[in-house]
Chains A and B, each alone.
Chain A
């Protein structure tokens, strides 16, 4: 099996080396663009944004007790409350998008049923910490915020619709034995300590990435000038907390879970940035795909552009976080803000491989309805945001 894989990869590399016309200037430019885009990420996003974000993700995976959240998604939970919890709990439950599908299957078959499960499935990939942070940093905080808010609001709508269409039938076959809750990991730290610890980490991330603003906006500009001082003070506070509140074992677990995420996600992101740079180029530059193609298909904020972005996003597979460099390339080539958001919403929530898994859990009919709902909701959100954002 793995030998076959190696042979296949070698063969593809050979075909690429044989056929790609590297002597053409457009291809040379595109190769250069992919390297320049990689450098831009390495210089601007890795040290200050991605590495702190990975530490936060690692801490969430280790220190946040999931029991308290899961309670609201179980079979006996309050139905209305469970929608709210399902739509926002992706932040703590699905630190990386690979955990969304098993959780979804669990909520559906053993827990609150199809409504909350599909709400979770739609919002989870869009609101996990890594996705929000990187989207906000690279594409701007407006679209980062729109992505999070859009995902949460429309996940509830999708969940309620799915419940309305299929709820009655789903209810009988549900297993009432409920979830087995977390085993072993007991919290002995008071909640306020954990809360302060997370607040300080997020504070560090926010302040050291504070963007330069117009000097006339006095407060913002002052924060910008003092960002290293604020970040440094918070870092000293964090160091104190780590030394006094945490056991050595816990810190080891934290670093190993952080490393686990980094090991898993960095190679994907590295590849994603190279591919996005090669195909689309950095903003203002052109990759292998001519900008006017992009502008023609998904430029502006019309219905067709939004619909196209949603449908393409629904079928395309984005490895964790790679939607961000790809979107950056597309926006730079003339994609409208609305279609960009539509792609961000439909993209990570669905892909051809995940559709197959969802189908094995829900069955064909419900899966088709879910996919159609996702495409419609993503298109609508894109159009609304496009109208608000102007361009």
Chain B
């Protein structure tokens, strides 16, 4: 699984990354998680507002911090 956390480096984006890593650990799922902070690359995903969460190339959420349960559901559906 390929997970990308989009954000220029503000605390809200770190929070998304932290929650994602926690959920992965909890589900015991391995994934390639990368933080993308280059604004030009962020824009290529076509999101409005950071933080954004992309799983397997699909934008799952943008402009807000998703709840851990939401992240869990997305990861399970992509697994």
B8 contact set on A, CB distance < 8 A: 98, 101-102
Nearest-Cβ distance from residue B18 to partner chain A, whole angstroms: 12
Per-residue 0/1 for B1-32: is the Cβ within 8 Å of any A Cβ (1 yes, 0 no)? 00000011011100100000000000000000
Q: Answer whether A110 and B49 are a contact pair too, CB < 8 Å, given A180-B62, A182-B63, A185-B64.
A: no
B46 contact set on A, CB distance < 8 A: 106, 110, 175, 177-180
B65 contact set on A, CB distance < 8 A: 253, 256-257, 260
Judged by a CB distance under 8 angstroms, whether B33 is at the interface is no
Judged by a CB distance under 8 angstroms, whether A79 is at the interface is no
B47 contact set on A, CB distance < 8 A: 106, 179-180
Count residues of B near A (Cβ-Cβ below 8 Å). 26
Nearest-Cβ distance from residue B76 to partner chain A, whole angstroms: 15
What CA separation (Å) do A61 and B45 show in the bound complex?
21
Q: Answer whether A260 and B59 are a contact pair too, CB < 8 Å, given A98-B10, A105-B40.
A: no
Closest B residue by C-beta to A94: B49
Q: How many A-B residue pairs have CB under 8 A?
A: 85
What CA separation (Å) do A314 and B43 show in the bound complex?
25
What CA separation (Å) do A278 and B60 show in the bound complex?
46
Per-residue 0/1 for B32-53: is the Cβ within 8 Å of any A Cβ (1 yes, 0 no)? 0000000110110111111000
Closest A residue by C-beta to B73: A184
Nearest-Cβ distance from residue B36 to partner chain A, whole angstroms: 11
Nearest-Cβ distance from residue A310 to partner chain B, whole angstroms: 25
B11 contact set on A, CB distance < 8 A: 260, 263-264
Q: Give residues 246-292 of A contacting B (CB, 8 Å).
A: 249, 253, 256-257, 260, 263-264
Closest A residue by C-beta to B41: A105
Which of B12, B45, B48, B67 interacts with A181 by CB under 8 Å? B48
Tell me whether B59 and A183 are in contact (CB under 8 A): yes
Max chain A Cβ within 10 angstroms of own Cβ: one of B48, B50, B64 = B48
Judged by a CB distance under 8 angstroms, whether A361 is at the interface is yes
Judged by a CB distance under 8 angstroms, whether B75 is at the interface is no
Which of A66, A105, A177, A260 interacts with B63 by CB under 8 Å? A66
Q: Answer whether A102 and B42 are a contact pair too, CB < 8 Å, given A249-B67, A263-B11, A264-B11.
A: yes
Q: Answer whether A180 and B39 are a contact pair too, CB < 8 Å, given A102-B8, A249-B67, A264-B10.
A: no
A263 contact set on B, CB distance < 8 A: 11
What CA separation (Å) do A183 and B70 show in the bound complex?
11
Q: Give residues 53-78 of B contacting A (CB, 8 Å).
A: 59-67, 70
Tell me whether A66 and B48 are in contact (CB under 8 A): yes
What CA separation (Å) do A364 and B11 show in the bound complex?
29
Which of B12, B48, B67, B70 interacts with A106 by CB under 8 Å? B48
Nearest-Cβ distance from residue A110 to partner chain B, whole angstroms: 6
Q: Give residues 63-101 of A contacting B (CB, 8 Å).
A: 66, 70, 93, 96, 98-99, 101
**29 A-B contact pairs sorted by A residue (CB < 8 Å):** A70-B48, A99-B10, A99-B50, A102-B7, A102-B50, A105-B39, A105-B40, A106-B42, A106-B46, A106-B47, A179-B46, A180-B47, A180-B48, A180-B62, A182-B48, A182-B62, A183-B60, A183-B61, A184-B60, A184-B61, A253-B65, A257-B64, A257-B65, A260-B11, A260-B12, A260-B65, A264-B11, A361-B39, A361-B40
Q: 3 nearest interchain CB pairs?
A: A98-B10, A180-B46, A264-B11
